[in-house]
């Protein structure tokens, strides 16, 4: 072996030193350039979607309501209010579209969810549970390294465990898998689930409060675990029936509705105009119940109680949103969190024209879920001021509800508090979450139907939809294309409206503009055929089950 002389050793030592210096410089430059790149990229925000259940267009203060909603109004004052945001007209179809970015029929919930005690064996658009040919926002965001958290109402399939939140992308879940629940004592097949197991509720349980408490707990755990962003889906069951208002919240509104629905609609419309929400020249829908003066004093008292219970449930939602906002502020997470607030459909007319229940039902709510207070058609119509119709329908009163976006770090200060008047719909939330998170939508399932609304949040006033968008529920159908809206109630003729000039759909132009009507009918028909929509005969799962049970008894 050759002996290494001193000079050679010195040369080798300096060569090693120089290599380390060069490596250190290279690593330093790489880290420096990486830091510049990271600094140039906007940080991925936390994402929260707050969904309420069966709340009308004009219920919250910032959309014209008299109900006290200071925290929701705060979101609007420091964010943006959409004036034309569309849902799917009913509870679980809306949730299916929201969660997947696709139409309800495309993901298996073209009507409603299959009851847990019945195996119908359906496939395709009406199977009644979320299918495997789609992905949820939670599944996509979890792949993008988000914490994924959910509390509240799922309603996307209870019969198959594969459809439950934990199996469809959520790291944590606390809530109800079914639809309606008793706010105080959920049970009877409509109980509460923690992760994948039934869990008991205590005497302090109140759904709106407890869903918020678990949401705050899940956020705490995520923030303490690491610095990854989180996605929270907080889906309140309120103000869905039964209207189990807390007694103090109910008392706050008792007596405020004794002058009836027409007077309420007039007050709300006046406030909407003063806010700039609605055009001064709008022709609003009129009330659809009996004239208030034709009802007796006992009816007035009972109806006032029903609306007070409803208002109390909405007030409780606002209190809990305030609790969540305060919690995010204490964690230092509020500014870097984008919050979407919306309702799954318009106010609910189920319960007959004059609703169901009285003050005694508020004070001592029945334990069974279906036995409590219900709003009814006349009050629901008022809650959707200035629009026509309500839940189930895709006229504006059923399918257009408030949508507020709050994001201090992302919405320019000069636009906060303003209205967004371009229309958007549920599938757009998936597309927006993809853009916010940098997540990749998988090629293994059909594409997202939505378009990102992010340009609207950062100042653009160009439409996000240049091609038609479509709806159908129970035979109630709609196409929106630019200013035109083609809509029908089941088995009734198609109606055509210029929404830019007639937001409340009071001037049907179908006869006057036959060519536009025919063109849009053809578009809707092609969409319906492509997506296996049951028309002209609608499919109603509950009617089907009723006939099936009747036949089995014979």
Q: What is the 3-state secondary structure (H, E, C) of 158-181?
A: CCCHHHCHHHHCCCEEEEECCCCC
Mean pLDDT calculated for residue range 107-112: 95
Q: What is the mean pLDDT of residues 480-502?
A: 98
- Structure-token match 């910032």, residue found: 62
* Residue 401 pLDDT greater than 70, yes or no: yes
Question: For position 524, which CATH number holds?
Answer: 3.30.1120.10
User: What pLDDT score was predicted for residue 123?
Assistant: 73
Q: Give the pLDDT mean for 317-325.
A: 98
Q: List the catalytic residues.
A: 91, 155
Query: Residue 369 above 90 pLDDT?
Result: no
CATH number at 321 reads 3.40.720.10
- Using the predicted structure, report yes or no on whether residue 25 has a pLDDT greater than 50: no
Radius of gyration of the chain (CA): 26
The band of 237, judged by pLDDT with boundaries at 50, 70 and 90, is very high
Banded model confidence at residue 507, pLDDT cuts 50, 70, 90: very high
C-alpha closest to that of 410 among 441, 437, 430, 431: 437
How far is the CA of 283 from the CAs of 269, 387, 389, 486, 506, in angstroms? 10, 10, 15, 18, 7
DSSP state of 385: T
Tokens of 419: 């209205």
Report if residue 326 sits inside a domain: yes
Q: pLDDT class for 544, splitting at 50, 70, 90? A: confident
Q: How confident is the model at residue 83 (pLDDT cuts 50, 70, 90)?
A: very high
User: Span 210-234, mean pLDDT?
Assistant: 98
When pLDDT is cut at 50, 70 and 90, the band that residue 542 belongs to is confident
Beta-ladder partners of 476: 473
Q: Which of 448, 466, 484 is the last residue of a domain?
A: 466
C-alpha–C-alpha distance, residues 339 and 325, integer Å: 10
- Measure CA of the first residue to CA of the last residue in the chain; give whole Å: 103
Looking up tokens 């995520």, which residue turns up? 222
**Does residue 209 contact residue 238 with C-beta atoms inside 8 Å?**
no
Beta bridge partners of 194: 174, 197
Task: Give CA angle at 103 (99, 108), nearest 5°.
Answer: 80
Instruction: Name 154's Cβ contacts closer than 8 Å, sequence gap at least 6.
Output: 95, 164, 165, 173, 175, 176, 177, 178, 235
| 406 burial type by CB count under 10 A (0-12 exposed, 13-18 middle, 19+ buried) | buried
Q: Which of 445, 466, 487 is the last residue of a domain?
A: 466
In the numeric block, the tokens 């036959």 are attached to: 514
> Is 188 contained in some domain?
yes
Number of domains in the chain: 2
Q: What is the mean pLDDT of residues 149-157?
A: 97
Same domain, residue pair 289 and 193: yes
* Domain boundary pick from 466, 485, 503: 466
Task: Classify residue 11: in a domain, yes or no.
Answer: no
- Owning domain of residue 51: 46-389+413-466
438 and 461 share a domain? yes
DSSP H stretches of helix in 101-229: 137-143, 207-225
pLDDT, the chain, mean: 91
Same-domain pairing of 218 and 231:
yes
Residues 538, 441 within the same domain: no
pLDDT of 445 over the 70 cut: yes
DSSP per-residue codes, 345-397: SS----S-TT-B--HHHHHS--SSGGGS-B--HHHHHHHTTTSS--TT--SHH
Is residue 3 domain-resident? no
- Does 165 lie in the same domain as 76? yes
Tokens 């992760």 identify what position?
195
Judged by phi (left if over 0) then psi (alpha if -120 to 50, else beta), residue 124 lies in left
Side-chain-facing half-sphere of 52: CA atoms under 13 Å = 30
Q: Are 154 and 235 in contact (CB under 8 A)?
A: yes
Q: How far apart are CA 393 and CA 86, in angstroms?
A: 12
pLDDT of 19 reads 39
Whole-number Å distance between alpha carbons of 43 and 407: 13
Q: How far apart are CA 369 and CA 228, in angstroms?
A: 39
Q: Do residues 427 and 528 share a domain?
A: no
State the SS3 of 420-465.
Answer: ECCCEECHHHHHHHHHHHCCCCCCCCCCCCCCCCHHHHCCCCCCCC
The angle subtended at Cα 125 by Cα 121 and Cα 126, nearest 5°, is 50
pLDDT of 228 > 80? The answer is: yes
88 and 426 in contact (C-beta within 8 Å)? yes
Do both 454 and 477 map to the same domain?
A: no
pLDDT at residue 4 tops 50: no
In a domain, 382, yes or no: yes
**Which of 426, 428, 425, 408 lies closest to 417, judged by CA?**
408
pLDDT at 42: 55
Q: In terms of C-beta density within 10 A (0-12 exposed, 13-18 middle, 19 or more buried), how is residue 374 classed? A: buried
Are residue 101 and residue 143 in the same domain, yes or no?
A: yes
Separation of CA 303 from chain center? 28
Residue 512 lies in a domain: yes
Residues forming beta bridges with residue 199, ordered by sequence position? 192
What is the distance between the alpha carbons of residues 403 and 405, in angstroms, rounded to a whole number?
7
- Tokens linked to 102: 């696709």
Q: pLDDT tens digits for 278-311?
A: 999 999 999 999 999 999 999 999 999 999 999 9
Confidence at residue 481, expressed as pLDDT on a 0 to 100 scale = 98
In-domain check, residue 376 = yes
Sheet (strand 484-488) strand order: 469-473, 476-481, 484-488, 495-498
Shared domain for 449 and 531, answered yes or no, is: no
Do you find a cis peptide bond into 244, omega within 30 degrees of 0? no
Name the one residue in this structure whose structure tokens are 């508090």.
417
CA distance 214 to 323: 12
Could you tell me if 461 and 485 lie in one domain?
Answer: no
Tokens of 60: 């919250």
Tokens for 2, please give them. 């050759």
pLDDT at 119: 55
Residues 383, 64 contacting (CB under 8 angstroms): no
Q: Is 350 within the bounds of a domain?
A: yes
Q: Using CA atoms of 409, 410, 416, 420 in order, give the dihedral in degrees to the nearest 10.
A: -160
Check whether residue 166 and residue 295 sit in a common domain.
yes
CB 208 within 8 Å of CB 183: yes
422/524 same-domain check = no
């Amino acid at each position: 072996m050759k002996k290494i002389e001193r000079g050679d050793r010195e040369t080798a030592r300096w060569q090693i030193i120089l290599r380390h210096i060069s490596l250190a410089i290279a690593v330093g430059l790489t880290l420096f350039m990486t830091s510049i790149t990271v600094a140039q990229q906007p940080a991925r925000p936390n994402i929260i979607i707050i969904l309420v259940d069966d709340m009308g267009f004009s219920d919250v203060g910032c959309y014209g309501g008299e109900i006290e909603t200071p925290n929701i109004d705060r979101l609007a004052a420091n964010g943006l209010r959409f004036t034309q945001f569309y849902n799917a007209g009913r509870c679980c179809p809306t949730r299916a579209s929201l969660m997947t970015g696709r139409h309800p029929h495309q993901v298996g919930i073209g009507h409603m969810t299959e009851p847990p005690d019945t195996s119908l064996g359906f496939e395709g658009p009406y199977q009644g549970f979320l299918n495997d040919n789609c992905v949820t926002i939670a599944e996509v965001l979890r792949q993008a390294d988000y914490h994924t958290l959910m509390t509240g109402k799922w309603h996307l399939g209870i019969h198959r465990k594969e459809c439950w939140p934990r199996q469809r992308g959520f790291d944590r879940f606390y809530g109800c898998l079914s639809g309606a629940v008793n706010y105080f004592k959920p049970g009877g097949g409509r109980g509460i689930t923690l992760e994948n197991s039934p869990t008991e509720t205590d005497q302090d349980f109140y759904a709106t409060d407890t869903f918020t408490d678990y949401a705050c707990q899940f956020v705490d755990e995520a923030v303490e675990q690491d610095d990854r962003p989180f996605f929270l889906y907080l889906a309140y069951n309120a103000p869905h029936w039964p209207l189990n208002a807390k007694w103090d919240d109910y008392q706050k509104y008792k007596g405020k509705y004794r002058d009836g629905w027409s007077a309420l609609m007039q007050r709300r419309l006046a406030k909407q105009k003063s806010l700039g929400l609605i055009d001064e020249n709008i022709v609003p829908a009129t009330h659809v119940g009996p004239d208030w003066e034709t009802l007796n004093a006992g009816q007035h008292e009972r109806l006032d109680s029903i609306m007070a219970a409803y208002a109390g449930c909405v007030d409780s939602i606002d209190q809990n949103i305030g609790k969540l906002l305060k919690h995010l502020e204490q964690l230092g997470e509020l500014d870097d969190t984008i919050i979407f607030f919306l309702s799954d459909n318009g106010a609910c007319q189920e319960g007959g024209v004059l609703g169901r229940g009285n003050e005694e039902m508020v004070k001592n709510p029945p334990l069974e879920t279906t036995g409590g207070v219900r709003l009814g058609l006349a009050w629901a119509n008022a809650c959707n001021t200035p629009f026509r119709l309500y839940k189930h329908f895709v006229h504006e009163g059923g399918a257009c509800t408030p949508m507020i976006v709050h994001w201090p770090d992302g919405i320019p200060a000069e636009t906060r508090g303003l209205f967004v008047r371009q229309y958007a719909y549920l599938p757009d939330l998936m597309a927006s979450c993809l853009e916010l998170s940098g997540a990749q939508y998988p090629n293994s399932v059909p594409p997202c139907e939505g378009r990102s609304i992010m340009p609207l949040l950062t100042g653009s006033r160009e439409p996000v939809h240049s091609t038609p968008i479509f709806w159908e529920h129970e035979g109630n159908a709609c196409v929106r294309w630019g200013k035109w809206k083609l809509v029908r109630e089941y088995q009734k003729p198609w109606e055509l409206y210029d929404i830019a000039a007639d937001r409340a759909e009071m001037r049907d132009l179908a006869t006057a503009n036959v060519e536009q009507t025919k063109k849009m009918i053809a578009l809707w028909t092609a969409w319906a055929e492509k997506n296996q929509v049951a028309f002209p005969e609608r499919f109603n799962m509950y009617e089907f089950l009723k006939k099936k049970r009747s036949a089995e008894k014979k």
